[in-house]
Amino acid sequence: MEVVLAKTSGFCFGVKRAVGQVYEQVHKGKKVYTYGSIAHNETVVKELEEQGVTVLESREELEKLTEGTVIIRAHGIPEEIYGLLEEKGLEYIDATCPFVKRIHKIVQEQSAQGRRIIIIGNSGHPEVEGTKGWTKSPAAVIESPEQAWDFEAKKGEKLCIVSQTTFNYKKFQDLVEIFRKKGYDIIVANTICNATEERQREAIELAARADVMIVIGGTHSSNTRKLYELCRSECENTYYIQTLEDLQLELPNSVELVGITAGASTPNKIIEEVQNYVRINF
């Protein structure tokens, strides 16, 4: 039996950079806070908490803070939170992913020019919430064909469409096409990061070959959920796990290939544990 790990698996550039900056400040002996979970992976968050890192879950908690170093997570934050940090005189480190920063710049500029912002993504996701905080007027969040067809622009209104960096690329294209068919004046910025496209493409190709597919990632990870959905569409025997402890696997002798992929917030050590376990025990 062959076990194949997708080449693009585990920490993406943005998450790796953000987590690294947290550990760097911890090792300097500072009291560290993150504005929101630094990554959508419970294992990573728990390990950082054991190092004394505290997660600030809301603006209200940030307002009460009087000391320490605040690290802005890779997902980014609304513009007003930067203002609050400056107003309070708190030390902060901006670990927003550069790909997310690019979206903030686009929506800020285009909304200032009068275009209404359409964000293709998951409502409530921290990256989407952060992006909404950079527009000059309320943005619309679209994540399904039904929502796209139901959306109505005002007469003469111009639109700018961007995407959550970890959104499904094909779904993004399909939703943009609906806006085109409705005849709106639109500017489209494909802001899905290259690593996400590669990760999804590799996962689909591997799942199409595999008898069993294992997808590793946090239970609240949007990009891991999308990987699971894509793999499940190609391989019926697809498993979504967070750690090795979640793996309940019984493989028949007919299985020749087990594929493994992992979300952008999954540490390498968890991937290696799962990979080694499957190789040794099956």
Predicted confidence at residue 250, as pLDDT, reads 81
pLDDT band at 236; cut points 50, 70, 90: very high
97-146 residue pLDDT tens:
999 999 999 999 999 999 999 999 999 999 999 999 999 999 999 999 99
Backbone dihedral region for residue 124 (phi beyond 0: left; psi -120 to 50: alpha; all else: beta): left
Q: What pTM value is reported for the model?
A: 0.90
> What mean pLDDT is reported for the chain?
95
What radius of gyration do the chain's Cα atoms show? 20
Q: Say whether 127 is catalytic.
A: yes
Answer yes or no: same fold for 2-10+194-281 and 99-188. yes
Please tell me which residue in 2, 86, 91, 127 is annotated as part of the active site: 127
Q: In whole angstroms, what is the distance from residue 120 CA to residue 191 CA?
A: 10
Calculate the alpha carbon distances from 194 to 87, 99, 198 in Å: 36, 9, 6
Any idea which architecture 2-10+194-281 has in CATH? 3-Layer(aba) Sandwich (3.40)
Predicted confidence at residue 282, as pLDDT, reads 83
Q: Does domain 99-188 bear CATH number 3.40.1010.20?
A: yes
Q: Does domain 13-96 bear CATH number 3.40.50.11270?
A: yes
pLDDT band at 73; cut points 50, 70, 90: very high
30-61 residue pLDDT tens:
999 999 999 889 999 999 999 999 999 999 99
Mean pLDDT value of segment 66-83: 96
CB 109 within 8 A of CB 145: no
Annotated domain spans of the chain: 2-10+194-281, 13-96, 99-188
Q: Is residue 228 exposed (0-12), middle (13-18) or buried (19+ Cβ within 10 Å)?
A: buried
192-221 residue pLDDT tens:
998 899 999 999 999 999 999 999 999 989
261 token code pair: 């992929």
Residues written for the chain: 282
The proportion of the chain whose per-residue pLDDT surpasses 90, expressed as a percent, equals 93
Stretch (H or E) spanning 79: helix 79-88
